[in-house]
Structure 1
Amino acid sequence: MTTVSPTRPRPAEEAPDGPRRWRVGSVEVLAVLLVLLVLFRTQVADLINGPRISTWTTVFVSVMVQATPFLVFGVVLSAVIAVFVPRSFWAKALPKHPALAVPVASCAGVVLPGCECGSVPIAGSLMRRGVTPAAALAFLLAAPAVNPIVLTATAVAFPGRPQMVVLRAIGSLIVATGMGWLWLRLGKADWIKLPHRPELDDLSKSRAFWASCRHDIIHAGGFLALGAGAAATINVLVPEKWLLAVAQRPVLSVLALAVLAVLLSICSEADAFVAASLSQFSLTARLAFLLVGPMVDLKLISMQAGVFGRRFATRFAPATFVMATGVAGLLGVVFL
């Protein structure tokens, strides 16, 4: 009779599929960075004192200071929507047909004082509450550009030119509605990957509210910082003389200011004053700056990638840029 030897226990350091592999984590990366800072502290100190770093820091801080209050506002409103607003409300507030819900959602942005940083978490919350993605995306694009604060700032920045206010509002609504309808036609559900959220139904209302706020602040705030850093880097690297060289060419000037709006990543409450200061450019080019900026910029693309996924951002942002630039050019040719 054969005896079966007992199975030898697997060593603790071995995983079921073999020995564990050592992975580089955030602690290891931080340790390496600290060692490098100590070794090259003289070179780092000289670099920090340079004018380029000073400019980079100024732009980065200004973007963060402008955007953070509105991000917090959007996160709080998003938590209110996620926790306190019942799903049945949206079924009653928006038309049942998705094609009709898109323009209604676009116009809803008129009554919400906020910027693009706040609209991203709000749009994500709307999707979680059952709003069709096309309508939520239309709201995301329209709200930063057609709310009363932005339109008032535009009127102040362009005194004696009310057509800039009207064209900004009309153009933004056209782009937002058009992108919503385009999503209904060509968009795919698997392009949007909303991040995992804590299960809020088992929590009290107050605990669920704060859990939602903490989640969105950490998630969206990190991508906001990445976008602000990218915008600051572009501000340092792009020479101003390049802008002056294209200002006299109508088509190229429109494209240049549209791209500049993406790179500068200025909050929609302040971008009208920057556009007004670019007096060497035509009104059509400055209108493109005003339409593109609140819908497509570096920090907004980063936040969209964080909230909806990279597959969404790499498709939605370029399409929005093309439509916003085209609408600005067409409105400028006809009315300016």
Structure 2
Amino acid sequence: MPDTERVAVAGGVGDGIDWSVPAEPADDTHPRRGGPAERRRHTRPRVGSVEVLAGLLILLVLLRGRLTGLVDSPRWQTWTTVFVSVVVQAIPFLVFGVLLSAVIAVFVPRSFWARALPRHPALAVPVASCAGVVLPGCECGSVPIAGSLIRRGVTPAAALAFLLAAPAINPIVLTATAVAFPDNPEMVVARGLASLVVAMLIGWLWLRLGRTEWIRLPARAEPEGSRARAFWAACRHDVIHAGGFLVLGAMAAATINVFVPEVWLRQLAGSPFLAIPALAVLAVLLSICSEADAFVAASLSQFSLTARLAFLVVGPMVDLKLISMQAGMFGRGFALRFAPATLVLGVGVATLVGAVLL
């Protein structure tokens, strides 16, 4: 009698029917077993990031003569300078944020957040916003950290409030603002207060109107093995998603810098009604790191202090590279809703705070 294997069927026990079926051959080349012969026929070469990078390098070598002529033009030199400066400014803080995000994901238990944050979401929002004071990072690092917080069970409203507050009210940014505006110390207070208020309002607005399905975090595999392996797997995952969109955002910012005429800025500065939204939009387009934007704002002396405050409040919360990174981390649907709401609140709060303190 040939060998058989038993198939378990619900309700088949004791019903008088023999559910044994002939066992399939043990030959490794059996087509249903997916043996070596079958696998060889269906296996196709996979093109990964290493192959793509190698192909790009070969193209650069083959086309180096034509590319050199293009890069020699003044516009391309400006584009390259802006692109490299945005990426170089952001990468150290992106790496810091990715490492901290991996630490949160691997080494911090979920129970910690239940103890650290108030149970009521409305109270967790201001606590998470104020937590940004102790984190010396920029907007590039806050995106993966916020994603990791949501994965660890933190309410999205609190995580998003932290995402907005951390790049704008941490000690490094406030110190840089004080150095950039030595004759206007009230600018430091105005920036910290306005940024904190915007972060809390966005968190509470999410509690009121936000939906869970708007946030679609990219799937992250849970590797088996040691915590060290899980840590590096989380780092690689966040670098791929956040780093790639950082490059796209930097390319968009460099393109805007090249094609927006500077004379438009002078005309806008003369209009008290257009100066504030104009500098807010400029902050979105320039995509300057929050540690350096105060010095750029100080150089825009033709604009009022309130307009420059809007530049400092909006920039760390909404810019091209940040929108791109948020779309990669949380989904395009989230970014299309989150960025406009943050921009409107940022301009409104900066205008009110500037009218009172400046």
TM-score by length of 1: 0.88
* Counterpart check, 1:257 vs 2:257: no
Equivalence for 1:93: 116
The Cα shift of 1:65 comes to 0.6
**2:309 aligned with 1:266:** no
SS of residue in 2 equivalent to 1:109: helix
Report how far residue 160 of structure 1 moved: 2.4
2:127 equivalent to 1:111: no
Superposed counterparts of 1:243-322, under 5 Å? 243-322=265-344
1:264: how far off?
0.5
Secondary structure of 1:210's counterpart equals helix
| CA displacement 1:81-117 (0-9 Å, x = unmatched) | 0000000000000000000000000000000000000
- Asked if 2 retains the 8 angstrom alpha-carbon contact of 1:37 and 1:44, the reply is no
- Tell me by how many angstroms 1:301 deviates: 0.3
Q: Deviations over 1:26-81 (max 9, x none)?
A: 989x979978996x876544322100000000001000110000000000000000
Q: Secondary structure at the match of 2:273?
A: helix
Q: Given the superposition, is the C-alpha separation of residues 198 and 36 from structure 1 closer, same or farther in structure 2, using an over 3 Å criterion?
A: closer
In the other structure, the counterpart of 2:43 is: none
CA distance in 2 between counterparts of 1:66 and 1:44 reads 25
User: How many residues in Structure 1 have an aligned counterpart in Structure 2?
Assistant: 312
Aligned-pair CA distance for 1:334: 2.0
RMSD: 2.2
Matched, 1:199 2:197: no
Among residues 160, 163, 168, which one is paired with 1:140 in the alignment? 163
- CA gap of 1:130–1:245, structure 2 versus 1, over 3 A, is same
Deviation string 1:271-312 (CA, Å, 9 cap, x unpaired) is 000000000000000000000000000000000000000000
Alignment of 1:1-336 (within 5 A): 44-200=67-223, 202-336=224-358
* SS of residue paired to 1:276: helix
Report the AA paired with residue 237 of structure 2: H
Structure 2 counterpart SS, 1:251 = coil
Q: Structure 1 pair 25/76, CA: closer, same or farther in 2 (3 Å)? A: closer
Distance 1:84 1:99 in 2: 27
Deviation digits for residues 195-233 of structure 1, max 9, x if unmatched?
010114x33111100111111111110000000000000
**Structure of higher CA gyration radius:** 2
- Counterpart of 2:274 in 1: which secondary structure? helix
**CA distance 1:153–1:33, shift in 2 (3 Å):** closer
Letter in 2 for 1:168: R
1:335 Cα deviation after fit: 2.1
- Note closer, same or farther for the CA distance 1:88–1:35 as it changes in structure 2 (3 Å cut): closer
- How many Å separate the matches in 2 of 1:80 and 1:215? 13
Q: State the TM-score, normalized to the length of structure 2.
A: 0.83
Provide the C-alpha distance between the structure 2 equivalents of 1:34 and 1:75, rounded to a whole number of angstroms.
Answer: 31
User: Contact 1:167–1:331 (CA<8 Å) still a contact in 2?
Assistant: yes
